[in-house]
Structure 1
């Protein structure tokens, strides 16, 4: 029996060593993915900025073209303005002007002479984007396309609708024609840093077909079969949505010194002190769980949350991409404890933690930082509309009624958000900003006691 027990404990020790190795490998892959995602987000931000700069120049060109309403187009003046625009933005390869959808002027003219006189309406490849810009009255980005003179480029279609009088509504204006900016693929990617990412990382831009079909590679390297890339959405004018993907050439890093040390030490301990090794590893993991996780909900605690925020701050210093936090505070937790008891209150906290986790991504962090206070940490900065949508989704899910042992408890939570580095330069200041916004929402939404139903639990913070 002693031999059987020793053999059993040894096998358990080896199994635990293998399990710990998997955890270490998963952590290595997670950190590797976080590093690559940081690079991808940096490229995305710079690429959107470069395209935005080109579009801004195009808007200036549109204002210039609007002056030709009712009079002949002046090619000589256009060439002077086009020269200035291309000098100001090297990513613009050429500029074309098409009054009435017929291309009348291109700069530089060489090697584009053959395109002058082209009627877009008779060109099946180019007319859909021009027609979309004309009908939507908005800028449309299309491509990339292979150019006759060599290379690939994005086409920015800018419809021109001159105003006959000041403040004339856009819907009432008459279509004059379209301006086209041809953006060089290589120069655009180089300006965005997509061609100078760290060694071993590859960047690809994929289309997102509206019909739900397979994505098409637009720029960058083909993704090898079996490689799971990380990505971020790339939003362009004209409701064009692409996906910016990144992956390591040699695969995600899951081996290293940490893995070998873990396996060697675990194997030695399992062989020599099988029973002691089993108890020791169990104790280490129990202590780690207590130190970094909330014992009631199993969520990250404040210490683990601050560690991850410090990591994201360090990444932001390198990439310029920050993160968002969402401070969630229950408005009715104390009355629930008083009315139903602490055991029900504990189950409510566990349920709130589960609801928050269901609304977040794998690499987001949900932490319990106080009695009825939670913080959701999301890497990457959100636009205001994205943040409002996310807060509304969290609020809707958290505020759903909680049922326990036949009792139905209405829940209401206040949520305050803040972004790093836009709202604060330090983590402590960021937490204060989110906390203040949460309390401001609590003050706005706090109901009067006259609205409390007879026999109900008051919703008071």
Structure 2
């Protein structure tokens, strides 16, 4: 006895090679990926544009700071040109003249701490003298700390800005040293004689005052700044102020041009590059949520469409193909076997006594019995065959690729043997019986209608001559 207790349509549907759920899932994932990828491309482009704009803004601000610092430094150095020119033509400059000239310079130069002259590299003049007396008589060549910078200026034959240096009297300063050359003849006038090295002019520039005048500090205008290039050595020079690691954080770097050298100023936003990610994250989150929504909607639409298509072509109770799908497949078989001059069969099956089951036990029991019958028929045929429910308790099976009527009858017996017998339905044992008829293409017909009519006639003939299902006797056995 074969029992199928609690058999549901879901079990039947799982037997069919349907891919609607997979198709819906794949479609949903595909659209999700497309929208998500589009979102990421937009985010990337927007982020790149924001970074470009942010960097451009920093470049503009650093350029302003660089120009201010260059301007402040150059204006300070420019004030001493008159003194250097005077000494070049008056190598025996006297202290009163020197003090008078320098006092005028200091009245205009807000960043200058003192100015000195070193004839033959020995400091002979310095103003203001107060607090700087110990510097008089200093020989540069014997001072290991200052001689390299002095020698650098001599070799360059021009101004070199050294430092920062720590001052004895406190604070830090840059020292701009300019070599002085004379061409004085016997008459005291300039001659064509070869220029002669007179000595060195040094200007001590107060660093805090210089940076304050230029409006520069370690954090200025929303920027973190660092300056390097000690002794005018540019990128090879030591740090002047700021955080040295800032030069490794993709900063905007610009050169501050000095006479015979340079400094490098680096800047990044105080909060770092790309610190305001709120718009980007809002866009990314919205895009991914939209991708999920669209993916879910597409998956639902594809599955709904597939379900509707399946319902249009399949019996909702048993999950088997319906009459519409049967006719379509049968038409394909007709065309195929007509071309290849081969045969196929049509098997019509009618459940005996099914109306009595419905009347006695109700439609629920009848529906379960139909599902069991569908399962048994489905499991008794080949993958190339098709079983459909044509209506009520009638089923039609298309048996593909049979070579003779004998092969078709063999398939008929196999299906009927598997179909008939006791079935356990809701704790009741009901005997399944069926009548069947066959039609063989092309002997019994060459069209859809002719084959179905031939099969029906044979089935009803067998039903009239066969044993009819007895529900009362089955009930007594229960």
Q: Please give the alpha-carbon distance, in whole angstroms, between the structure 1 residues aligned to 2:293 and 2:78.
A: 70
* Structure 1 segment 298-337 matched on structure 2, within 5 A: none
Residue 263 (str. 1) matches residue 311 (str. 2): no
SS in structure 1 of the partner of residue 107 of structure 2: helix
Residue 137 (str. 1) matches residue 154 (str. 2): no
2:102 to 82, 93, 98: 82
Post-superposition shift, 1:212? Answer: 10
Post-superposition shift, 1:210? Answer: 10
Deviations 1:35-70 (A, max 9, x none): 11111111111111122112211211101212333x
Post-superposition shift, 1:118? Answer: 0.3
> Given that residues 66 and 162 in structure 1 are in contact (C-alpha distance below 8 angstroms), is that contact kept between their aligned partners in structure 2?
yes
Q: Please give the alpha-carbon distance, in whole angstroms, between the structure 2 residues aligned to 1:137 and 1:108.
A: 26
Post-superposition shift, 1:90? Answer: 0.7
Q: Please give the alpha-carbon distance, in whole angstroms, between the structure 1 residues aligned to 2:180 and 2:248.
A: 46
Deviations 1:63-100 (A, max 9, x none): 1212333x4x3112211211111121111111111111
Post-superposition shift, 1:152? Answer: 1.4
Q: What does residue 34 of structure 2 align with?
A: 12
SS in structure 1 of the partner of residue 196 of structure 2: coil
2:168 to 148, 171, 180: 148
Post-superposition shift, 1:168? Answer: 4.7
Q: Please give the alpha-carbon distance, in whole angstroms, between the structure 2 residues aligned to 1:221 and 1:110.
A: 36
2:62 to 36, 40, 52: 40
Aligned length: 273
Contiguous gaps of at least 5 residues in structure 2: 1-22, 299-478
- When residues 141 and 275 of structure 1 are mapped into structure 2, their CA distance, relative to the original with a 3 A threshold, is farther
- When residues 210 and 140 of structure 1 are mapped into structure 2, their CA distance, relative to the original with a 3 A threshold, is closer
Q: Please give the alpha-carbon distance, in whole angstroms, between the structure 1 residues aligned to 2:252 and 2:123.
A: 41
- When residues 37 and 276 of structure 1 are mapped into structure 2, their CA distance, relative to the original with a 3 A threshold, is farther
Post-superposition shift, 1:12? Answer: 3.2
Q: Please give the alpha-carbon distance, in whole angstroms, between the structure 1 residues aligned to 2:28 and 2:120.
A: 88
Q: What does residue 271 of structure 2 align with?
A: 250
- When residues 119 and 211 of structure 1 are mapped into structure 2, their CA distance, relative to the original with a 3 A threshold, is closer
> Given that residues 104 and 117 in structure 1 are in contact (C-alpha distance below 8 angstroms), is that contact kept between their aligned partners in structure 2?
yes
- When residues 11 and 28 of structure 1 are mapped into structure 2, their CA distance, relative to the original with a 3 A threshold, is same
Q: What does residue 228 of structure 1 align with?
A: 250
Residue 58 (str. 1) matches residue 87 (str. 2): no
Structure 1 segments of 4 or more deviating over 4 A? 165-169, 196-199, 208-215, 274-277
Post-superposition shift, 1:149? Answer: 1.4
Question: Structure 2 length normalisation: TM-score?
Answer: 0.52
> Given that residues 116 and 127 in structure 2 are in contact (C-alpha distance below 8 angstroms), is that contact kept between their aligned partners in structure 1?
yes
Q: Please give the alpha-carbon distance, in whole angstroms, between the structure 2 residues aligned to 1:276 and 1:209.
A: 68
Q: Please give the alpha-carbon distance, in whole angstroms, between the structure 1 residues aligned to 2:56 and 2:26.
A: 45
Residue 128 (str. 1) matches residue 148 (str. 2): yes
Structure 1, 17-26 or 182-191: larger mean CA deviation:
17-26
Q: What does residue 303 of structure 2 align with?
A: none
Deviations 1:342-396 (A, max 9, x none): xxxxxxxxxxxxxxxxxxxxxxxxxxxxxxxxxxxxxxxxxxxxxxxxxxxxxxx
Q: Alpha carbon RMSD of aligned pairs, Å? A: 2.9
Post-superposition shift, 1:232? Answer: 0.8
> Given that residues 247 and 266 in structure 2 are in contact (C-alpha distance below 8 angstroms), is that contact kept between their aligned partners in structure 1?
no
- When residues 262 and 215 of structure 1 are mapped into structure 2, their CA distance, relative to the original with a 3 A threshold, is farther
Deviations 1:247-297 (A, max 9, x none): 1222112534431342233123212224999xxxxxxxxxxxxxxxxxxxx
Contiguous gaps of at least 5 residues in structure 1: 278-461
> Given that residues 160 and 175 in structure 1 are in contact (C-alpha distance below 8 angstroms), is that contact kept between their aligned partners in structure 2?
yes
Q: Please give the alpha-carbon distance, in whole angstroms, between the structure 1 residues aligned to 2:29 and 2:291.
A: 10
Structure number with higher relative contact order (C-alpha < 8 Å, ≥ 6 residues apart):
2
Q: Please give the alpha-carbon distance, in whole angstroms, between the structure 1 residues aligned to 2:136 and 2:230.
A: 32
Whichever of the two has the greater Rg, that structure is: 2
SS in structure 2 of the partner of residue 175 of structure 1: strand
Post-superposition shift, 1:30? Answer: 1.9
> Given that residues 48 and 235 in structure 1 are in contact (C-alpha distance below 8 angstroms), is that contact kept between their aligned partners in structure 2?
yes
SS in structure 2 of the partner of residue 177 of structure 1: strand
> Given that residues 25 and 255 in structure 1 are in contact (C-alpha distance below 8 angstroms), is that contact kept between their aligned partners in structure 2?
no
Q: What does residue 391 of structure 1 align with?
A: none
SS in structure 2 of the partner of residue 251 of structure 1: coil
Residue 183 (str. 1) matches residue 205 (str. 2): yes
Q: What does residue 24 of structure 1 align with?
A: 46
- When residues 223 and 192 of structure 1 are mapped into structure 2, their CA distance, relative to the original with a 3 A threshold, is farther
